[in-house]
Amino acid sequence: MRVQRALARVGAVSRREADKAVAEGRVQVNGTTAIVGQLVDPARDRITLDGTPVATQVTAHRWIVLHKPAAVMTTRKDPEGRATVFDLVDDAPGLVYVGRLDFMTEGVLLLTTDGTAAHVLTHPSHEVERTYVATVRGDAVTAAREARRGVKLDDGLVVPSEVTAYPLGERRWAFELTITEGRTHEVRRICDALGLEVERLVRTRFGPVRLGELPSGAARALTSAERTVLDALTGQG
């Protein structure tokens, strides 16, 4: 296993940060400065990052399914002192979130100590589906029809794999769409481009993991079925 992957695999740093750390000479293997692409044995080699030992031998990774509430930051620390998703779960060394939810966006958020799996699940090339339900005002029926043909944003065309709209009453609509990318503010920008005013946004599914009846702010472990599918998606099944 390459040393960069060994670091990212346990969530010590992201894969990109691991590459940078090795290139900058901040990583040592058995007391010798590591080089980019160096092969290591996580079970036998002693790896340090900035002088701190990294436990790279993993027996079982931890996974958490969180129902992120609105007004909570998807980050480890917030300079403004706002609540973060890590305030809502039992933290653990190397725990990272899988994809980011905006400050006011609610719903399914995965957290794991498997940094490599987190990278795979969020990389656009793997096309992991995410389903969102937006409570909107506007002509949602026409918007759904247009969205099926694709929505042009400033960073490219987005063609949702599924789009539906159904009335909620009082001139509000549920606008549900499934996408396979995680661009910044993507769903909100799609709605804006379609002339819809978003009042609330909830991610109801990430890959095989559904929000279900999990209360806002609560967390749970993966089911065995969810873990099986995630392992297959990340090449670990």
The residue extents of the domains of the chain are 3-54, 63-125+209-233, 129-206
Which CATH class for the 3-54 domain?
Answer: alpha beta
Task: Select which of 45, 78, 91, 102 is catalytic.
Answer: 102
The 3-state DSSP class for residue 109 equals strand
d(CA 7, CA 53): 11
- Say if residues 107 and 99 touch (Cβ distance below 8 Å): no
Q: 171 phi and psi, to 5 degrees?
A: 65, 20
Taking the complete model, does pTM exceed 0.85, yes or no? no
Does residue 114 or residue 8 have the better pLDDT? Answer: 114
Q: Is 102 a catalytic residue?
A: yes
Number of Cβ atoms within 10 Å of the Cβ of 49: 18
pLDDT for 57: 64
pLDDT digits (tens, 9 = 90+) for 12-65: 677 788 899 999 999 999 999 999 999 998 878 999 999 999 877 655 788 999
Question: pLDDT band for position 203 (50/70/90)?
Answer: very high
CATH architecture of 63-125+209-233: 2-Layer Sandwich (3.30)
Region 129-206: CATH code: 3.30.2350.10
- Selected residue with higher pLDDT from 9 and 195: 195
d(CA 83, CA 69): 10
Residue 182 has what pLDDT? 85
In this predicted structure, what is the pLDDT of residue 237?
A: 57
Task: Write the DSSP symbol of residue 126.
Answer: G
